Chain A
Amino acid sequence: MSGDDAPEPESKPELGWRAREIERELPGLGLIVMQARIARAASLNARSPAGVEDRLRELSNRFRGARAVTLRREPVPAAYRAFFRHVGLDPDVVRTPIEAVALERMLRGGLHSGGLIEDSLLIALVDTGVPVWALDAAAVDGPLGIRTSVEGEPLGRSPRAAEGPLPAGRLVVADASAALAMMFGGLAADHEAKGGTAEVTLFAIKVPGVPSLYVEEALWMCRAALEQP
């Protein structure tokens, strides 16, 4: 965007929709969505800008083994652990995103850069404890929300979707026409942000006990990293 262009309207974090049964059963659960434009011309898979890599290195140095142990007692990671149990996931078997990163950090000896998208999401997760996911905005049809899956439904719109079919009743993040991600799981391959993606839809899952401020901070942090030239 050149300096002469009119400023584009600022995207803010927005609350996603929830299916009625989820609203009733898990009233503290929410989906917060935000758009981000990729500022730089290089591929998203290319090396991150120096500022992002520096931030990642700094976080890697701060995120030591001792914290990995006490992490489960911190309010935000603890809230995600409890919520995992509420939806049938055992956090000692299926690790929460922040605990998975802590383990990875110890095994690999650091937080390693994996391209701009991956780094931005990682920075937000380590700094706030809130996991964020990024979808290719061009592949999203309408507003995002949380619902349960229908028996045999594929993950993603593509008929070749490798992840499907889903069993009935799984919690998924969906747009108007398809399930795009299993909650706390992987994204549908045809909806992930790729090298040439110009705009991404960021989303984070707010669980009971996590203040909205943390979730929004995670999204803003991601966006700031993605919008670095």
Chain B
Amino acid sequence: MVYLVPFAFALLGYLMLSPIISMARDTWKLIAMTETQSQAEENLFTGKVFYEGDTIASSTIQFPRFGNQYGVLSIEGTNVDAPLYFGDDDAYLRKGLGQYAGSSFPGMGSTILIGGHNNTYFRDLKSAKVGAKITVDTNYGTYVYEIERMEVLRHNDKSAFDLASETENIVLYTCYPFNMLGLTPQRYFVYGKLVSGPRILLDQ
């Protein structure tokens, strides 16, 4: 019986440590990735773009692919000021905020859905107030949204947002409660309406 203890411990240890090993491996991958960036991880955002027109031709924009940083998002009255990536895989959420690839781009007249970790880049999302401005500086122009409301909803609540909306709006989210240790089914959503920014003409 006692000889089974070390064997059982080794087996349990392997099973239990696998997530840690996996996380360490993913972290190493992330470190390695930042040292040799592929084209997919190219940073398209090189600084604030001052564009004065009400519209912008789509053909003049270099749209991002998965993994490209294409902007910076900041929220008035908070410490939120983070890189914005297209795509919200774990690797990108560790480096900044991630736009869900199945949502719209700023300027396209629909819903922009952006997530971020509550212990890093969206740590101070909880400080956002109704009426405050969300500024999204992209590689093709600056967009400003005004916060209208906040809601705590389940992650799979289909009423949380409408990706088919024909009115431009921004939805930011992070896990809730903010300091809960453990997987949580709830998300803290912040909703904003468009205030300014050039409308993208997709057929030009």
Q: Answer yes or no: do A and B interact.
A: no
Which residues of chain A have a CB within 8 Å of any CB of chain B?
none
